[in-house]
Structure 1
Amino acid sequence: MALDALLDAVERLPAFERALARLPAPYGALTVAGLRGSSDAVFVGALARRLGTRFFAVIAESVPEAERWLADVQPLLPEGAAAFYPPREGLGETEPHLEIAGERVETLERVSRGELRVLITTARAALERTRVPGALRTLRLELRKGGRHRLPDLVARLEEMGFERVPMIDDVAQFSVRGGIVDVYSFGMADPVRAEFWGDEIVELRQFDIGSQISTRDVPAALVLPAESARAAGEGEAERTTLLALLPPDTLVVEPVGTHLEPELRRTWEEAQHHIVLAQRRGEDPASRDELFEAPEGVLGALAALATLRLAPAGAAADVAFPLHEPEPVDRDIRWLRRLVRDGMPTVILCDNTGQAERLEELLAEEGIGPSPAALTVGVLQGGFVIPPAAGGRGLRVLTDHEIFRRERRIRRKRRYVSGIALDTAELRAGDYVVHLEHGVGIYRGMEKIFVGETTLEVAVVEYEGGDRLNVP
C-alpha cells in the first residue's frame, strides 16, 4: 500500500470535509484537534493535494520540530513540493554554514518561482530580515553552451554575487579561472560546472566531479544563484525583507500542536539585542537589531493578515475534531503484533528501508497460516495513528517500525553539496587506510600528477574495493 493510501484515508473522514469547508480566509483562523502521531502531516498533505493551488506555510517553534515536519511531509507529496527555510545559525546577516546558507537561497528561489506547495520554517526564521530576495531578482546568472560572456565581466559578476575566487574549487559558493576555463559551484547545483571559452563564447559546458576534477557529463545550461552574502546589483545597501513578505496573500499558515509563536518571537528579539551588545563589547561593529530582524509586532501583524490553521491536542476546544487514536503499543512483542494485524482492521507498517520491511515481513509470517495481512511499505513518519471504524468502514491502523521496536527515529538529512578534502599526506604511506567524507574508507596509493584542462594537478590517489580510484587534489 503506497503512502497515497494514507492521504486517501484521511480525506474520506467527515472531519476532513468539515475542515475543508471551513478553511479560513485571510485574517481568519480555524482550530483543528485530535490529529495523533504524524496524522497532522498527513492532514496537511491531503489538504495540499485537494487544493491544487493553495500555498501552505508550516511555522514551527524550533528547528527539530520543523525538521520533523519536513521529514513527514516530503514522502507524502510529489518530489520537490515541500522545502525547509532554516534560520541563520549566526547573528550576522551572512550565514557561515554553507549547507544552511544554500538551503535558504534555494528555498527562496523556489518560492519566487512558485514551485513549492508546502514551506516549512521556524519562528526565528520568520523574524529575520535578508537581502537574498533582491539578489535573486537581479543577480541570478545563466551559463549556456553557445552563450557569450566577456571573461573579465563574468569574473566581476561572480564576485558581486558573493562567490569566492580560488585556485581550484573544493566547496560550494566558489569559482576558479584557468586560462579560458571557468569552474563554478553554485547553490542549487548537484555538481559544479566547467565552462570552456573560445574568445567570449562558451563552447563546452560540463559538470565535473569535485574530488577528481574530471568532467562527467555535458549540460546545455546551468543556473548560478547568488550566495547569501551577495547584494542586489546597483543597490549598495539593498533593502532587506522578511520571509512572510514573500508569501502569496492566500497562504494558509499552519501552527503545529504546542507552538507558542509570540513568546518565541519575543525571546529571539531580546536574545538578538543581547548578542549585539556582546559583539560591541568585543570591539565589533555589528548591524543593528532593526536591520537584521523585524520587530515581533510586525511579524505578528503579518501572520494575523494570513489565514491560520491551528492544530490542537486531542480533547482541546476546537472548531473541528478528528476522532483518531494512538496506535496500540507493541513494545517489541512480535507475537502480539501478529495477533494485532489480524484483528480485521487494515494495517500499514511504515519501514525505514526495504531491508527492514523484508525482515519484518518474515517475522510476521506464521507457519500454517501464511503471510501477514499487514501492508509493509517503505516510508518514514514520526508517529503512527489509528483511524477507527465508522459508517461501515474498517478504519486504518498506521504503525512505524521504529515505534514497534522502540527505536528513536533519527532524521538524517542528506548533504546538499559535495566537497573536496585536503589530505595531509606528510604522514601517510602507500597502503594506509583513509576516510573520505563522501566516499568512505579507502586505501591511500600515493601522489600522482594529472592534466586537467590547461593545468597540471598533483593529487592523492585513494583506491576503493573493486579497483575504483579517487583523485583528491
Structure 2
Amino acid sequence: MSLDFLLRTPEFGALSRAVASSERPLLVRGVVEPAKAYLLACLAGTAGRPIVLIRPESAPLAQAERDCRFYLDRLAPHAGLAALPPLADDPYFEVPPALDAVSSRMRLFHRLLNAPPALIVTSLGGLLKPVPAQADMAGLFLSLETGGEADHDALLETLGRYGYAREDLIASPGEFAWRGGIVDVFSPWEANPFRIEFDGSRVASLREFDISNQRSVRRIDRLTVPSLREFPATPEFLDVWKAAARGRGKGARRDLEAKIAAVDRGEFGPSFAALALLAEGRFVPVTDYLREPVFVVEDPEAVDGEWDERLKELHGQFDDLRAGRAFACEPDAVFPPSLLRRVRAEAVRLEGLGAPAREKAFAFGFQPVPRFDNRIPFFLQYLKKLRSESDLCSIYVLNAGTRRRLAALLRESDIPALETDSPFAIAPRGEIALLIGALPGGFSYPREKLHVFS
C-alpha cells in the first residue's frame, strides 16, 4: 500500500479544489481519529497554502504535532510543521509561561520571518494573541558567527533584555553567565548550552558544551539565540507603551504607575506579555505572516464551546481587577475578536463519523482497525481474512529487530511479507508490507481495500 493513496481518490481531489477556491465554510466528515493527522499532512503537502489546524483548548497540541510530523516527514519532508501553543493559560495570573511554550512560539516566529511552515498546529488561545510586527519580530533573534563582529557588552545587554536570567554558572535553559571575554548562554532551543568566546570585538569561537563537566561537545559556525519575550524591551518600545498605557489608565492610575516603575527597573512580570499589546501598531495577527492560510477546525463544537466559556471567565476576571482598581488589558485586546470571526467564517470544519451531511460536505471512508494487544492468533486470523479478500495491508513497527521477528512469524503462518523502507512501496496482492516507524494509530479505507496497522 502506498502511503499517498489518498491523493489519488476523487474525494480528496474534490476537497483540494474546494480548499483552493473561495467556497466557505466546508465540512469534512468520515475521518476517524487516527486518520486525521494523515489527512492534514496530505492537505499540507498539496495545498500550496499554509494549513492552520485549530484544536480544542483541552486537546494536547504535542500529540497532534507528533502525529502530523510522522506523515508529513514521509509525504512532504520539505514542507515543514510547527506548533503555536498558548503563551499562558491565563493572561492575568502572575505565573511564568512554560518554557516549552515560549520555545515553540519563538521557533515558529523565526520561521515566519524566513520560510513559513506548511502546517501549524494550534488552538484559539495560541492563534488569537497578536504577535510582534515584522520590524520588532526580527529584533527578537540574535545571530552570531564565528569570526564575525560582535560587541561583548551589547550581547550581555541583549540577553538581559531577552529575559535570560544571569547566573554565576548556568544549569538550565533560559540562563546566561559571563566571565571576562567568555559568555555562556542556554537557549531553550538547544539540548546543551553554548560558550561564546570573544577576541576583542570579534567572536573567536562558538562551542556547545556539557554543563556536567564543562567540556566542549562540538564547535559550530553559527548560533541563533531567541528572545524569551514576545515584545522588544527596548527604551523606545517602552516609551511607546507607557504613553499608550497612561492613555488607558483612568481609574487605575496608582497601579499603572507602580507597574511602570517596575518596568523602569527592568522587572517584567508574566502579565506584561498581555499589557505590552497596548503599544499600538507594534503587534499584528499571526496571519499577517501567512499567505492565504487555510483554517481547519477539529471538533468545531468543542472549540467554540470551550473558547466561549474561557472568554466568559476572562471577562469576569477583568471586571474584578478593574473593580479593585488594578490596571489590566481587556480580553478583547489580548485575543482580538476580528481574527476569531474570520476563522469561524472561513474554516474547514473537521467533524467525526457521526456528523450529519450538509451542503458542501466532503465525506471520506476512513474506518478504525482492531487493536490486537498481543492476541497473536486473532491477529494472524484477521490478516489471513484480509488476504483472502485481496486487500492491501501495511504494518508499522518500531525497529528493524521487531520487523524481522514479525516477518518470521508471518511466514511461519503462511502469510508472505515484504520488508521495505519505502512508504510508497506497493506490495503484491497477498503480501503484507512491513515498515519501520512510530505510526500514530491504524486505520482502514475500505473503498480502496487498504489497511494500516501499528
TM-score, with structure 1 as normaliser: 0.73
**Does 1:71 pair with 2:66?**
yes
Q: What's the counterpart of residue 249 of structure 2?
A: none
CA distance in 2, matches of 1:131, 1:213: 36
CA contact (8 A) 1:193 1:207 kept: yes
Select which of 360, 366, 369 maps to 1:327.
Answer: 369
CA distance in 2, matches of 1:321, 1:146: 58
Q: Calculate percent identity across the aligned residue pairs.
A: 25
Taking only aligned residues, the RMSD between alpha carbons, in angstroms, comes to 3.1
Instruction: Find the residue that maps to 2:12 and give its secondary structure.
Output: helix
Post-superposition shift, 1:370?
A: 5.7
CA distance in 1, matches of 2:300, 2:370: 23
CA contact (8 A) 2:67 2:440 kept: yes
CA contact (8 A) 1:27 1:304 kept: no
CA distance in 2, matches of 1:235, 1:195: 28
Deviations 1:243-300 (A, max 9, x none): 544442411111124553332222221222445567789x9956323376224x3232
Q: What's the counterpart of residue 298 of structure 2?
A: 256
Q: What's the counterpart of residue 99 of structure 2?
A: 98
Moved over 6 A (4+): 277-281
Q: What's the counterpart of residue 88 of structure 1?
A: 87
Pick closer, same or farther for the CA change 1:37–1:85 going to 2, 3 Å: same
Pick closer, same or farther for the CA change 1:310–1:142 going to 2, 3 Å: same
Q: What's the counterpart of residue 339 of structure 2?
A: 299
Gaps of 5+ in 2: 242-275, 419-430
Instruction: Find the residue that maps to 1:64 and give its secondary structure.
Output: coil
Instruction: Find the residue that maps to 2:207 and give its secondary structure.
Output: strand
Post-superposition shift, 1:375?
A: 1.9
Deviations 1:202-256 (A, max 9, x none): 1122121222221222211111211126525331135464654444241111112
Q: What's the counterpart of residue 251 of structure 2?
A: none
Question: In terms of mean alpha carbon deviation, does 35-44 or 117-126 score higher?
Answer: 35-44
Q: What's the counterpart of residue 147 of structure 1?
A: 148
Q: What's the counterpart of residue 397 of structure 1?
A: 451
CA contact (8 A) 1:161 1:226 kept: yes
Instruction: Find the residue that maps to 1:235 and give its secondary structure.
Output: helix
Pick closer, same or farther for the CA change 1:336–1:352 going to 2, 3 Å: same
Deviations 1:98-119 (A, max 9, x none): 1221112112222332241100
Q: What's the counterpart of residue 449 of structure 1?
A: none
Aligned residue identity for 1:201: R
CA distance in 2, matches of 1:338, 1:112: 51
Pick closer, same or farther for the CA change 1:16–1:298 going to 2, 3 Å: same
**Does 1:31 pair with 2:73?**
no
Q: What's the counterpart of residue 345 of structure 1?
A: 391
Select which of 340, 349, 355 maps to 1:310.
Answer: 349
The 5-angstrom pairing of residues 170-181 of structure 1 reads: 170-181=171-182
CA distance in 1, matches of 2:288, 2:319: 30
Pick closer, same or farther for the CA change 1:126–1:139 going to 2, 3 Å: closer
Select which of 424, 432, 437 maps to 1:374.
Answer: 432
Pick closer, same or farther for the CA change 1:371–1:284 going to 2, 3 Å: farther
**Does 1:20 pair with 2:16?**
yes
CA distance in 2, matches of 1:183, 1:58: 37
Select which of 17, 37, 40 maps to 1:41.
Answer: 37
Q: What's the counterpart of residue 268 of structure 2?
A: none
Q: What's the counterpart of residue 117 of structure 1?
A: 118
Post-superposition shift, 1:397?
A: 0.5
Pick closer, same or farther for the CA change 1:169–1:277 going to 2, 3 Å: farther
CA distance in 2, matches of 1:206, 1:338: 53
Aligned residue identity for 1:205: L
CA distance in 2, matches of 1:291, 1:170: 39
Aligned residue identity for 1:397: H
Post-superposition shift, 1:302?
A: 3.0
Q: What's the counterpart of residue 270 of structure 2?
A: none
Aligned residue identity for 1:221: R
CA contact (8 A) 2:34 2:441 kept: yes
Instruction: Find the residue that maps to 2:412 and give its secondary structure.
Output: coil
CA distance in 1, matches of 2:34, 2:83: 18
Pick closer, same or farther for the CA change 1:325–1:139 going to 2, 3 Å: closer
Gaps of 5+ in 1: 401-473
CA distance in 2, matches of 1:380, 1:60: 22
CA distance in 2, matches of 1:241, 1:352: 44
Post-superposition shift, 1:309?
A: 1.6
CA contact (8 A) 1:326 1:386 kept: yes
Question: In terms of mean alpha carbon deviation, does 162-171 or 22-31 score higher?
Answer: 22-31
Pick closer, same or farther for the CA change 1:166–1:135 going to 2, 3 Å: farther
CA contact (8 A) 2:50 2:291 kept: no
Instruction: Find the residue that maps to 2:110 and give its secondary structure.
Output: helix
CA distance in 1, matches of 2:312, 2:56: 16
CA distance in 2, matches of 1:100, 1:235: 24
TM-score, with structure 2 as normaliser: 0.75
Deviations 1:302-353 (A, max 9, x none): 3246x42212223521422112333245464322321322322111123344
Pick closer, same or farther for the CA change 1:113–1:171 going to 2, 3 Å: same
Aligned residue identity for 1:86: P
Post-superposition shift, 1:22?
A: 1.8
CA contact (8 A) 2:417 2:434 kept: no
Pick closer, same or farther for the CA change 1:247–1:151 going to 2, 3 Å: closer
Pick closer, same or farther for the CA change 1:368–1:155 going to 2, 3 Å: closer
CA contact (8 A) 1:257 1:313 kept: yes
CA contact (8 A) 1:347 1:375 kept: yes
Pick closer, same or farther for the CA change 1:132–1:176 going to 2, 3 Å: farther
CA distance in 1, matches of 2:202, 2:436: 48
Pick closer, same or farther for the CA change 1:20–1:27 going to 2, 3 Å: closer
CA distance in 2, matches of 1:359, 1:182: 51
Question: In terms of mean alpha carbon deviation, does 68-77 or 263-272 score higher?
Answer: 263-272
Select which of 49, 52, 60 maps to 1:54.
Answer: 49
**Does 1:266 pair with 2:308?**
yes
